[in-house]
């Protein structure tokens, strides 16, 4: 997994995630999606960056958010 390898190389704790190409966020309902248009609000979403499903839950997380201890 790409995110795990990058985190390990940077000395961060490694968290497994199923990486998809891009994660988007709806400006209306703030739902994170893998599609450009929100099916509920019918508006185009804002591109957040590479990411995927987080470990143990269905929420989308960004690769940049992995391993942050903040």
- 53 exposure class (CB count in 10 Å sphere: 0-12, 13-18, 19+): middle
pLDDT of 2: 47
Q: Does this model's pTM top 0.75?
A: no
Encode pLDDT of 37-55 as tens digits.
999 999 999 999 998 887 7
Q: How far is residue 24's CA from residue 35's CA, in Å, rounded to a whole number?
A: 7
H-run or E-run covering 5? helix 2-9
**pLDDT(59) > 60:** yes
Q: Where exactly are the structural domains of the chain?
A: 19-64
pLDDT tier, 32 (very low <50, low <70, confident <90, very high otherwise): very high
């Amino acid at each position: 997994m790409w995110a795990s390898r990058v985190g390990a190389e940077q000395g961060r704790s490694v968290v497994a995630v199923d990486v998809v190409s891009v994660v988007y966020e709806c400006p209306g309902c703030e739902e994170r999606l893998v599609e450009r248009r929100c099916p509920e609000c019918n508006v185009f979403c804002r591109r957040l960056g590479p990411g995927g499903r987080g470990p143990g839950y269905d929420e989308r997380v960004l690769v940049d958010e992995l391993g942050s201890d903040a």
